[in-house]
C-alpha cells in the first residue's frame, strides 16, 4: 500500500524504512520544516539554570535535538553522577530514545509506560504528578511557528494547527494549579516547507488514489490545507497518531481517519485494517 509520510524530513527516515520493510510503498512528503531557534541565548541560559529546575519537559524529539545542540561546553548534564538531579520528562518513546542517545541517564528520565493506551501530555502528567510540589520550577522545551508562505486556506488551518499546543498548554496548567512555576524556552522553529511541482502532483493524486496519509502533527494538516485550498479529501484515507490530530484530519474533510499509537507496529496495524 502507498503511504504518504508527512513528518519533517529529519524525522521521517525511520518510518520510511519501517513501512518499506513491512511491504508498503512509503512516499515522503514533509509537510513541516524544522530549523533552529532564531535566538539561542535563552537556551544557553536555560542550561546554566538547569540545577534550579525539578524537571525539563521535552515536547518532541526535535526539542531534544535542538536543546542539546545549544549546550554550553561547561554546562551540567542530566547524569546520575552529576551534582544536580534535574529530571527529563518525555511524552513518548521516540523522544525517550533521542534523550537516551543525547546522554540522559535513564534513572533521571520519566515517560508514559510503553503499554500506555496513548503517549501524550495527559499520560505523562499521570506518571510525574507525584514529583511536583508547590514552589518547584519546571522548564518546557518547545518549538515555535515561523511565518512562511501560506495559501488562501492558512486562516482556516490556524484552528487545526492550534491543536498542536493543546497538550503542552494543558500540562502547563496542571503544573501551575499545583503551585509550581513553569518556564518555557523555544528550541526550534516550525515552518511550512516549499512544495515542488512533483510533490504538489503527488499530494493531489494521493487525495483520491487509495494512498494512506500518515499524520503525526496537526501543523502538517494545516499546511496541507493551505497548499491545496479547495481540494476535496472525501476519498482520502489517513492514520493519525493522536485523537487531536485525527480531529484535525476529519475537520479538513478526510473521508476515513483511523487513530493509532505512535509506534510502528500500531501504525502498521491501522494501515492494514483499512
Question: Are 156 and 253 in contact, with CB atoms under 8 Å apart?
Answer: no
Q: Give pLDDT tens digits along the chain (274 positions).
A: 999 999 998 889 999 999 999 999 999 999 999 999 999 999 999 999 999 999 999 999 999 999 999 998 877 778 766 667 899 999 999 999 999 999 999 999 999 998 887 888 999 999 999 999 999 999 999 999 875 444 333 333 332 333 334 567 899 999 999 999 999 999 999 988 788 999 999 999 999 999 999 999 999 999 999 999 999 999 999 999 999 999 999 999 999 999 999 999 999 999 999 8
Query: pLDDT of 159-192, one tens digit each?
Result: 233 333 456 789 999 999 999 999 999 999 998 8
Contact between 235 and 255 (Cβ < 8 Å): yes
Q: Are strands 87-90 and 256-259 parallel, antiparallel or unpaired?
A: unpaired
Nearest C-alpha neighbor of 132 from the set 180, 181, 85, 177: 180
What is 2-32+193-272's CATH topology? Rossmann fold (3.40.50)
What CATH number is given for 35-191 in this structure? 3.40.50.10090
* Confidence (pLDDT) at 115: 82
Contact partners, residue 115, CB within 8 Å, separation at least 6:
none
Same fold, 2-32+193-272 and 35-191: yes
Q: According to the model, what pLDDT value does residue 192 have?
A: 86
Residues 243, 126, 57, 105, Cα dihedral to 10°: -120
DSSP state of 81: T
pLDDT at 147 (0 to 100): 54
Domain ranges of the chain: 2-32+193-272, 35-191
User: So what's the pLDDT on residue 271?
Assistant: 95
Amino acid at each position: 500500500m502507498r503511504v504518504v509520510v508527512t513528518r519533517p524530513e529529519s524525522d521521517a527516515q525511520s518510518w520510511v524504512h519501517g513501512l518499506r520493510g513491512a511491504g508498503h510503498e512509503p512516499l515522503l512528503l514533509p509537510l513541516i520544516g524544522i530549523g533552529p531557534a532564531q535566538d539561542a541565548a535563552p537556551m544557553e541560559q536555560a542550561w546554566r539554570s538547569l540545577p534550579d529546575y525539578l524537571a525539563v519537559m521535552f515536547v518532541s524529539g526535535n526539542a531534544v535535538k535542538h536543546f542539546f545542540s545549544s549546550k554550553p561546553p561547561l554546562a551540567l548534564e542530566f547524569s546520575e553522577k552529576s551534582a544536580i538531579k534535574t529530571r527529563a520528562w518525555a511524552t513518548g518513546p521516540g523522544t525517550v530514545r533521542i534523550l537516551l542517545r543525547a546522554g540522559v541517564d535513564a534513572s533521571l528520565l520519566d515517560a508514559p509506560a510503553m503499554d500506555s493506551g496513548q503517549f501524550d501530555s495527559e499520560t505523562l502528567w499521570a506518571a510525574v504528578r507525584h514529583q511536583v510540589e508547590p514552589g518547584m520550577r519546571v522548564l518546557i522545551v518547545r518549538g515555535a511557528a515561523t511565518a512562511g508562505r501560506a495559501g488562501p486556506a492558512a486562516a482556516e488551518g490556524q484552528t487545526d494547527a492550534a491543536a498542536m499546543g493543546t497538550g503542552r498548554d494543558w500540562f502547563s496548567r496542571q503544573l501551575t494549579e499545583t503551585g509550581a512555576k513553569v518556564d518555557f524556552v523555544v528550541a526550534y522553529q516550525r515552518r511550512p516547507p516549499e512544495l515542488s511541482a512533483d510533490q504538489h502532483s503527488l499530494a493531489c493524486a494521493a487525495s483520491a488514489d487509495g494512498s494512506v496519509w500518515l499524520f503525526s502533527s496537526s501543523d502538517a494538516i494545516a499546511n496541507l490545507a493551505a497548499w491545496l485550498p479547495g481540494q476535496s479529501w472525501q476519498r482520502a484515507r489517513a492514520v493519525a497518531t493522536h485523537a487531536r490530530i485525527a480531529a484535525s484530519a476529519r475537520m479538513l474533510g478526510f473521508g476515513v481517519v483511523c487513530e493509532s499509537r505512535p509506534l510502528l507496529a500500531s501504525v502498521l496495524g491501522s494501515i492494514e485494517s483499512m
